A and B are shown apart, each in its own frame.
Chain A
Amino acid sequence: MDDRAMITVLIIDDNVGFRVQARALLAAAGFSVIGEARDGSSGLEAVRTLRPDVVLLDIGLPDVEGFEVARQLAVTGPPPLVVLTSSREASEYGPRLTNSRVLGFIPKDELSGAAIRALVLRP
């Protein structure tokens, strides 16, 4: 993926405060945030209609866990790049995180355009 092209992002998180901050932060970093979803099922629907390059996916969603959303995204259609996030640290999830088929994990407080770009452009 070309680092100069506008990368489209979909944010799936139930916490509105985080969505607002993340959208502003990513927009400021040159990403195009094309949509937001507040839970797993509406997130899956948004991925189908919006076809984002990257999905910033919270692990703790109210209806279904982020791990499960990521699993479904991986098996249906052309999968987007999934970046899991959480306000917990990676060590709180152990093998479930390391075994999930996603691009990577960024703790919420570490979120930045640079962090996402580092994952996306990782060879």
Chain B
Amino acid sequence: MSTTASVPRTTNFAAIPILLLISAGALGLGMLAGRPQQGAPTLGMVLQVFVGWSFAACGIFIWARRRANRLGPLMATVGMLWLLGRAMALIPLPVTFTAGSWLSDLWAAAFAAFLLSFPTGRLIFRADLAIVGIFLFVSVPLEFVWMLFWVPGNGLNALAIVPDVAAAHVVDTLQRILISLAAVLLVASLGRRWLRSSGPVRRQMAPVLVGAIAILLQSASWIYFSSGTTFDPLDDLIFVAQIAIPISILGVILRTRMARARVADLVVELGETPTPARLREALANALGDPSLQVAYWSRVLDRFVDAAGQIVELPVDGAGQAVTVLERNGAPEAAIIHDAVLLEEPGLVASVAGALWLAVENERLAAEVEEQLTEVRASRARIVAAGDAERRRLERDLHDGAQQRLVALTLALRLAQTRLGDDADPAVKLSLEQASQEAKAALSELRQLARGIHPQILTEAGLHAAIESLAVRTPGDVSIDIDPMARFDPTVEAIAYFVVSEALANIAKYAEACAVQVRATWQEGVLTVEVTDDGRGGADPQTGTGLRGLLDRVSAADGTLEVVSPPGGGTRIVARIPAARATRAADPTPAGLAT
């Protein structure tokens, strides 16, 4: 969408509108107060004044606020002509009475032009020009001809050069017929346009249609009631409708102005990454256009689609809706399908479009980040799981290889010692004994190493048994509160085990604790492992590499690690790891076990 140049609003500061407003006020007041000899003004008279004021005031207001729109001046013209003709005809001077009477119906031509040119204020179609032409023809030249014959009761018609009641009646009848014809054409033209329009435009056209029908009714009543007679209730009703029309139009035109204030709210709302439905609603609210649609460009389909992925057909020109397309690097990204009336306010649509662009961009970035984060999480979990599998494999390799050989060596040495007999060389016996001790020590160290890599007991019997065997090697009183039957995913068990292992190792090294408690509970898919001691506290996960490593491992499983360790107040380490309960210890899987 191209943005039209903004119209400067500060020039010619409100001089003409204010003058017009004062004139309209004065004319109306004059009509009401200017003829005390005829008694209090009738309801019809009051309503007529308000019709003029309504058109003049609303027109001037739109004019002041929307310089680019011709509807404002047109409406003001309707109001001024209406008031001027009526007010002048009331002044008992031949010049004013004659001029006022001559111009008394000219407002109808302006009114027809106003109705037919809604909402831009421009007459586009030849047929519409013709209709306005008929109104003009009746209200200016034909009225002039009629004035030549017309003899009013007060005798103030300065144009009555050839007074002839019969001729005046003929002209008058012709005028009524032509006005009625023009009114029918007016209603037909607007009705046709209304039928061809979409929902939002129809709603906006409602006051215009009412206006057209009011003119039709008025002309019909002129035809029905012969010259000089009127039917007041119908006239009054028509006047009320005429008062309402400019106000409704003002509402339609200025709706976009109220919308501007909502753009700020919109930007705030879009900052919270709303759902597509909320986004549409927010944009619709901001633009005051309930029919607004948001479409997204699908690179796959090469078309615009809605949030549900359904193809969206963009409206064609003249359908009452317009499209504002948001582009990124020259490629369409999204589109707002909105009421064509909003094009009157390009700045507004542009700012709303900017807000939408931000939202779309935010959403895209958020999706990208989310995607990357998901991938990073998954790869981190895979790395930890692969690491655990590798540790288990390494432990098995040590067990199957070096450990077996050391066992065989130990047995061979023992056999040699047995066979040597009691009367052997003491030096040889000593050497064999030393070799045997070395082999046993090597085996013991190897076992410790293997256990540190991955404790077989964990695979074998689960957390309870593995931690029990840890506790045996930890000095001090370690109480264990773990369900012996609970089994979990091997990676989860390994993480929980190493949390306890690291905690117990730290306690043995630094804590000087008397009592240690290890608890593991499983609730609602989370395994909570808790190690508490009554030692001297002061542990800091940010400085110790052991705790830091634990934190990384726990985080990799999407878990949390909490270390509470006030100096002198003991240490409490709590790991919470998302975990599903697996098989029970009573029926373990023998897979992967070898001697």
Contact = CB atoms under 8 A, between A and B. Distances in A.
Interface residues of B, number: 36
A86 B418 CA distance: 22
Given A88-B456, A112-B414, A18 B484 contact: no
By secondary structure, the B interface counts as: helix
Interface stretch (B19-27, B159-167, B240-248, B460-468): B460-468
Contacts of A13: 595
B457 A91 contact: yes
B485 to A, nearest CB: 11
A28 B419 contact: yes
B418 A94 contact: no
A68 B533 CA distance: 40
Contacts of A18: 404, 407-408, 411
Contacts of A29: 418
Contacts of A108: 407, 410-411
A46 interface: no
Given A65-B593, A92-B469, A95-B484, A87 B403 contact: yes
B312 interface: no
A59 B588 CA distance: 14
B384 to A, nearest CB: 24
B582 interface: no
A91 B471 CA distance: 11
Contacts of B404: 15, 17-18, 87
Interface in A85-123: 86-89, 91-96, 108-109, 111-112
B15 interface: no
Given A15-B595, A95-B461, A65 B408 contact: no
Interface in A11-31: 13-15, 17-18, 21-22, 24-25, 28-29
Interface residues of A, number: 33
Contacts of B588: 96
A112 B440 CA distance: 14
A89 B456 CA distance: 10
B424 to A, nearest CB: 14
Nearest to B468: A94
B414 to A, nearest CB: 6
A25 to B, nearest CB: 5
A117 B134 CA distance: 132
Interface of B: 399, 403-408, 410-412, 414-415, 418-419, 439-440, 443, 447, 451, 455-457, 460-461, 465-466, 468-469, 472, 484, 585, 588, 590, 593-595
User: What are the 7 tightest A-B residue pairs by CB atom distance, in nearest-first order?
Assistant: A60-B595, A94-B465, A21-B411, A94-B461, A109-B410, A17-B408, A108-B407
